[in-house]
Amino acid sequence: MLPNSERLQIRAAEPFDPVSVYVANTIIDSAVAAGHPDDAAVAAATLRGPGAAAAIQSALHRADGPVDHVHALDIAALEFATSAVTHAADAYRDAATREALPRETVNMLDGAGLTRGQVAGGLHDRQRAAARNEERGNFEHRESPPVLLMRVLCAVTLSTIDFFLLLVPVTNASLSEPLSIAYVLGLLGLLILMNDTLPLMTGHAFRNHREQLHAVWDNVGPSAVKVQRKDADRGRTAAGQADLRRLRATALNRTIWSAALTVVVLVYGSLIFTRVLNLATRLGTATPLTAGLAAGLVTACTVAAPLFLTWRWSRGNRLGDQVREFGALTAESSALAEQLAQTAVDAVVEAELAIGNARSMIVIADEDGARAMSAVNVGLQLASDRLGQPDVVVPASANVFPISREARDHAEVLLERAQRQIVEIDAMLKVDPFPANGAAPDPWSGRHCTRPGRAVPVPRM
């Protein structure tokens, strides 16, 4: 080190930032090496030339220096920005899935395919129809078929009674023979069919006939009103829409199943009565009156079960079934929409948290960069003062290279993208895909129409 440089350098004990000290001492060394203080122009040339710029870059880019610290913060901000974009993309996907739920196709029990939006709209229409029926005193749609537990209890209990009370005493089947086991299992299956399937089919036959009869009344009633209003043509048209062939078919089906149930119940009741009466007589402790009463009570209880199931299966109507089916699907759709909305909101919260962290990293990096440049300016002031310059001399702009912050620029682009997606997600989540009173448009509307045809007179029953 030259004597003049040692004399002019800033001591480490002086209260200056290490960057300022490094910049000032490096510039002073360069100026002394170039001929200062013998040549008065050397100091200004050194401060303006590439030597001062090299000293600044060397001070900023040294190991674990300001630039490394800024770049580390920029990389952290980029990682947070990438995380924000990922969470925003997940939230947008969930919001888009929620928005597309009304267009998702579901299969109905009758095999028809409807969208969830059409199901929600259909539920609203059917609820209005049910409300109109209730205004007329018709609450049939509120009736529901017997639950599975009731069916199992009745079928298993009656089948057990029939098997041990009626079949076991009159058979010599052995559980050690395969044919006997198959015989017993077949009898149990037939008993279960008798105690469950027969009431079901009979009840459905009564219900179908009643619904068809109500449909005929709904068509014949308006036709009679139109005829009374001197509009015979429209009256015949309305009456012609009643399909009496369907009504006759349901009446025949009802008669067949009711006859089958009647025969089974009579035979079944007589067997139960005879068997219980014989058992009570063999005991020897019961009088003929008590034996008859016991047999009648057991018979009434066992016969009442299939009749009760038949009555329960005959209640209700298609409107009630559709209200329950459409209501269950609509509730499922609403639950899916709520779940997707909550998932999207959680992802948006994570994205906003990542955006805040990235912004904090960028602000800290900017402050550290500004603090480093302030230290560089202090170093230039110290160097100018020690080299005897009346004013602070700074390097020419052609010799100064700004700090490269590509990671910060990329993070800014990602943060802007994430914020735009969050705004779109908020707008999407504000729309209810299944409004309470909003009927979904029919995609088939306008593709077909009902053309007026010839009026068919209603034949007499």
- The model's pLDDT over 382-391, given as tens digits with 9 standing for 90+, comes to 877 777 777 7
List the single range of 117-121, 292-296, 440-444 with lowest mean pLDDT. Answer: 440-444
List the single range of 9-18, 48-57, 396-405 with lowest mean pLDDT. Answer: 9-18
pLDDT at 6 over 60: no
Tell me the pLDDT band of 227, cut-offs 50, 70 and 90. very low
Q: What is the mean pLDDT of residues 88-101?
A: 94
Res 213: pLDDT = 82
Tell me the pLDDT band of 236, cut-offs 50, 70 and 90. very low
d(CA 136, CA 323): 18
Res 417: pLDDT = 95
pLDDT at 85 over 80: yes
Q: What is the mean pLDDT of residues 316-342?
A: 90
Res 445: pLDDT = 42
Own/partner pairs for 394-399, CB < 8 Å, 24+ apart?
A: 394/47, 394/48, 394/52, 395/47, 395/48, 395/49, 395/50, 395/52, 395/53, 395/56, 396/48, 396/49, 399/48, 399/49, 399/50, 399/52, 399/53
Q: What is the mean pLDDT of residues 437-451?
A: 44
Res 87: pLDDT = 96
Res 338: pLDDT = 93
Res 168: pLDDT = 67
Res 448: pLDDT = 40
Q: What are phi and psi of 435, to 5 degrees?
A: -65, 155
d(CA 346, CA 325): 32
Is residue 84 within 8 A of residue 354, CB to CB? The reply is yes
pLDDT at 13 over 50: no
Q: What is the mean pLDDT of residues 63-83?
A: 88
Res 422: pLDDT = 94
> By percentage, how much of the chain surpasses pLDDT 90?
23
Tell me the pLDDT band of 50, cut-offs 50, 70 and 90. confident
d(CA 22, CA 161): 104
List the single range of 8-12, 162-166, 208-212, 216-220 with lowest mean pLDDT. Answer: 8-12
- Per the model's pLDDT, the better-predicted residue between 79 and 447 turns out to be 79
How far is residue 103 from each of residues 119, 367, 459, measured CA to CA in Å? 10, 51, 45
Res 233: pLDDT = 45
Res 335: pLDDT = 92
Res 223: pLDDT = 46
Please give the mean pLDDT across all residues of the chain: 78
Tell me the pLDDT band of 455, cut-offs 50, 70 and 90. very low
Q: What is the mean pLDDT of residues 257-279?
A: 85
d(CA 140, CA 50): 97
Tell me the pLDDT band of 197, cut-offs 50, 70 and 90. confident
Res 126: pLDDT = 86
Res 287: pLDDT = 75
- Per the model's pLDDT, the better-predicted residue between 440 and 124 turns out to be 124
Q: Which of 321, 355, 396, 286 is nearest to 129 (CA)?
A: 321
